[in-house]
Structure 1
Amino acid sequence: MHKSTADINLREDIIICGHRNPDTDSVCSAYGLQRYKEALGQESRHIAVRCGRLNPQTKYIFSHLGIEPPPLLPDINYRVHNIMSPVCLSSPYASISQAAQVMKEQSLRLVPVQNEQDQYQGVYTLDEMTNFLIERTRSTYTNYEIVLENLINILDAQVVMRGKQTIVNAGFLVGSMDRDQIAEYFNNLDLTRFFLVIGRRRRIISAAMAQGIAGVIITGDSLSDEEIRELDPSYQGWVLRSSQHSENVTRASAMASSVRTHLSREVRTITPDGLLEEAKQILEYQPGLPVVDNEGRLYGMVRRSDVINIRKPRLILTDHNEPTQSILGSEHAEIIQIIDHHRLSPRPTSKPINFLTAPVGSTCTLVSELFLELSKTLPMDAAKILLSGVISDTVMLRSPTTTDRDREVVTRLAKITGIDPMQLGTDIYTNGSMLKGMPIDKIIKNDFKEFEHNGIKLGVGQIEVVSICEIDDMRDGLLAGLDNLTLAKGGSYHWTVLLVTNIHTCDSILLSSDYARGQAKLGYEKSEKQIYDLPGVMSRKKQLLPALLEALTD
């Protein structure tokens, strides 16, 4: 099993997930279905996840069996790290030429820049490049921040003499005047801020070097090796030799200017965990979106092309089919399969899907039947987990939802695993108590499902206990907690209830929030305020839910 969700690729992988506030059947059926898909050898990778924390019972089962549970995936929304491109300039001293090449290859209007420590420095934009080139044609003495390695690479130049500075702020002069004119010209300039681009004019080169020019670029391979050796060896600047002619050298040299002095931070950024929808909104107003974490580390960028025609995440639902119970973001996903044993209220799909449902006691029963129909050997880990899921959801085969199919599956899985099902059930309910150290709100929401009927939003929780006495000291707290979830107290539900089931006597009690409309028609005997006795009731879906919905029917 996957220990984390870090390697999940929502574009390619198929996610298998049970309902929110997952119970044992939900998690175990997802686990078993992943192992089944692997046994089939399907092309796409199937990954079981859970969208909520493990309850004590489920945690005990996986720990007791020494099996890694499905990893936590709170939602199935695309995150920026799922779609971003690792495009950036790796140094603020990268040349404008390098930036132009990246923009051309990636069809970008901006490219983010990082330093040697991967820290975000800003963006270099196409607009900035355009302004730079326009300004260059207007100004006679434009100065550039020249990284000599960039200049050498752009010109494919030979280093004749290496200067002391590796980064030089300088412009470019072309030595095309006659000797007298250029001498006068030199006298009016600070040559330490210029490179001289010149052909075979040794005396002018020597004069410029004597006046401390920043560097000399000799074009067209015009000076011989012997003439180059005669240059002043005490000169402290750079001398380069390029086979290109002076015009090309001058034009190309400006593109060796670093992007550092042209960077902008006046663009919005987004973190790697940012949502796709947020990225889309930002990209309506800027042509690219740098991806930067809270420590300032640059990861790449999101381009407009990255958010167009993205394949929807593919999702398989286990142990539920109602949208309100699905993992967050499921409304943006493509549901490709459902395996469930509850009432049907799925959202519409755009095309036919595989939908396996039956009135059995556990979704793990349905997954087990799929597995047992294969001629391949059922993996031991899957057999143990599926057996645990059936035992849990049928309350050790005592629930009224239990069918002969559940009993048959338990018999066959017990034979494969060598595990006594009833002893397993006793261990699960003894060691996986829902009440050990759990706060009131967690007890209520631990196995909690929501339903809608006639415009009424209903929340139904369930816990299973060895004895009803386990909740004696917390009844008032549980009732207050149920009330706090209702609209009257600022919550989300019209009516909330908690079914407390005794696994040994196969009876339950029902704790209810204060909701007169529902309570007036609820056909159970009230033992005390907002508490009802439910003899013989164990199943939320088969026994309790129909009674609650009937109470809400006009």
Structure 2
Amino acid sequence: MAEIFVIGHRNPDMDSICAAYSYAYLKNKVDPGNTYIPVRCGSLNDATKAQFERLGVAPPPFIKDVRTKVSSVTRKADSVVQVDDPVYTLVSFYGTSSRSSVVPVMEGEKYRGLLSVDEVSSFILKENSGKRPLYHFVVDNFPKVLKGSFLRKGESKSFSAPIMVGAMRYVVFCRHMEALQGQAPILVVGDREDHIKKAIELQIPAIVLTGIEHEVTSNVDWDSYRGTVFVSALDTAETLRLLRLSVPVVQLMVQDPPSLQADTLFEEARDILAE
């Protein structure tokens, strides 16, 4: 059922007001599936006021503007994400075709902006072009995207780092670690004792151990390590794929996005968003 306004011209006289009132009354009788509401865009003159008073009928209410506003085209979101939620959560929404392609981002109860497929595509394209990407990781997002658990949580709740996969021989691994030139990575590696010991020595921010279904067999001194260790039951390739999607959605957002008010005219809103 829709609410449909019936209105006369901008500076209404008695004919205009009464025609709107009468036509709305008729339409409500012949089309009960919708609600027709008589309204006016101007003041009532004395003669029109007197006529409605004589009949004991309330005149149509005044509305300032009948042009489409932002509030006319807004709708309640099917889903929202919090600023620290992983990109994986956002991507998962798009697996359901019935969902909107635009998802609101909240910080608690505060609205922060919108994310769409465009921002996800930009994120994926950016990380696969140019030099080795730097990711911003939130430690608490690891179990949200990976099957596994923490062996220990480090001092830093979040950090920025490139990803290193320890799939090469130890000597080659050390050479690659040195080539990062001070950009301490997050290491994704199987239960490789020498690689893990080197990572602990360098005090990199986090180590993700892969393909471990029971317990770590490497004999290492975890107590000397200040970073995070997460044990993933998934293989290295799958762990790596999902780890990249643990990045918080706030990293995809445009800083200082344009804002609109509910009473902003639709045409004005369109121009603001098109800039």
State the TM-score, normalized to the length of structure 1.
0.39
The offset of 1:219, in angstroms, is 1.2
For 2:67, give the aligned amino acid.
N
For 2:231, give the aligned amino acid.
R
Partner of 2:125 in structure 1? 131
Partner of 1:15 in structure 2? 5
1:146-545 alignment to 2 at 5 Å? 146-183=137-174, 185-186=176-177, 189=180, 193-224=184-215, 227=217, 232-233=222-223, 235-264=225-254, 271-276=261-266, 289=273
**Aligned pair in 2 of structure 1 residues 35, 107: CA closer, same or farther (>3 Å)?**
closer
**Residue pair 2:156, 2:205 contacting (<8 A) in 1 also:** no
CA separation in 2, counterparts of 1:134 and 1:107? 26
- Cα deviation digits, residues 504-550 of structure 1 (max 9, x gap): xxxxxxxxxxxxxxxxxxxxxxxxxxxxxxxxxxxxxxxxxxxxxxx
**Residue pair 2:163, 2:185 contacting (<8 A) in 1 also:** yes
Residue 42 (structure 2) pairs with residue 52 (structure 1): yes
The offset of 1:218, in angstroms, is 1.5
% identical aligned pairs: 25
Q: Aligned-residue CA RMSD in angstroms?
A: 4.6
The offset of 1:83, in angstroms, is 2.8
**Residue pair 2:164, 2:187 contacting (<8 A) in 1 also:** yes
**Residue pair 1:111, 1:125 contacting (<8 A) in 2 also:** no
The offset of 1:120, in angstroms, is 4.0
The offset of 1:132, in angstroms, is 1.3
**Aligned pair in 2 of structure 1 residues 261, 40: CA closer, same or farther (>3 Å)?**
closer
**Secondary structure of 1:252's partner?**
helix
**Aligned pair in 2 of structure 1 residues 14, 262: CA closer, same or farther (>3 Å)?**
closer
Partner of 1:435 in structure 2? none
- Cα deviation digits, residues 90-126 of structure 1 (max 9, x gap): 4454544445455675685x87756552144888636
**Aligned pair in 2 of structure 1 residues 127, 201: CA closer, same or farther (>3 Å)?**
closer
**Secondary structure of 2:128's partner?**
helix
**Residue pair 2:150, 2:231 contacting (<8 A) in 1 also:** yes
CA separation in 2, counterparts of 1:31 and 1:51? 13
For 1:251, give the aligned amino acid.
R
CA separation in 2, counterparts of 1:244 and 1:122? 29
Partner of 1:72 in structure 2? 62
**Aligned pair in 2 of structure 1 residues 103, 236: CA closer, same or farther (>3 Å)?**
same
**Residue pair 1:115, 1:121 contacting (<8 A) in 2 also:** no
CA separation in 1, counterparts of 2:25 and 2:61? 15
CA separation in 2, counterparts of 1:228 and 1:70? 81
For 2:123, give the aligned amino acid.
M
**Aligned pair in 2 of structure 1 residues 122, 200: CA closer, same or farther (>3 Å)?**
closer
The offset of 1:143, in angstroms, is 1.4
**Residue pair 2:193, 2:219 contacting (<8 A) in 1 also:** no
Structure 1 residue runs of 5 or longer lacking an equivalent are 1-8, 284-288, 291-554
CA separation in 2, counterparts of 1:68 and 1:164? 69
Corresponding pairs, count: 269
- Cα deviation digits, residues 290-347 of structure 1 (max 9, x gap): 8xxxxxxxxxxxxxxxxxxxxxxxxxxxxxxxxxxxxxxxxxxxxxxxxxxxxxxxxx
For 1:165, give the aligned amino acid.
S
CA separation in 2, counterparts of 1:142 and 1:59? 71
CA separation in 2, counterparts of 1:240 and 1:114? 28
For 2:230, give the aligned amino acid.
L
**Residue pair 2:88, 2:246 contacting (<8 A) in 1 also:** yes
**Residue pair 1:191, 1:211 contacting (<8 A) in 2 also:** no
The offset of 1:202, in angstroms, is 4.0
For 1:253, give the aligned amino acid.
L
The offset of 1:239, in angstroms, is 1.8
CA separation in 2, counterparts of 1:268 and 1:32? 43
**Aligned pair in 2 of structure 1 residues 17, 216: CA closer, same or farther (>3 Å)?**
same
- Cα deviation digits, residues 49-102 of structure 1 (max 9, x gap): 222234567678889999875443344433333234556964454544445455
**Aligned pair in 2 of structure 1 residues 223, 275: CA closer, same or farther (>3 Å)?**
same
**Aligned pair in 2 of structure 1 residues 156, 274: CA closer, same or farther (>3 Å)?**
farther
**Residue pair 2:113, 2:253 contacting (<8 A) in 1 also:** no
**Residue pair 2:147, 2:234 contacting (<8 A) in 1 also:** no
For 2:122, give the aligned amino acid.
E
For 1:196, give the aligned amino acid.
L
The offset of 1:169, in angstroms, is 0.6
**Residue pair 2:113, 2:257 contacting (<8 A) in 1 also:** no
For 1:176, give the aligned amino acid.
A
State the TM-score, normalized to the length of structure 2.
0.69
**Aligned pair in 2 of structure 1 residues 195, 66: CA closer, same or farther (>3 Å)?**
farther
CA separation in 1, counterparts of 2:8 and 2:59? 13
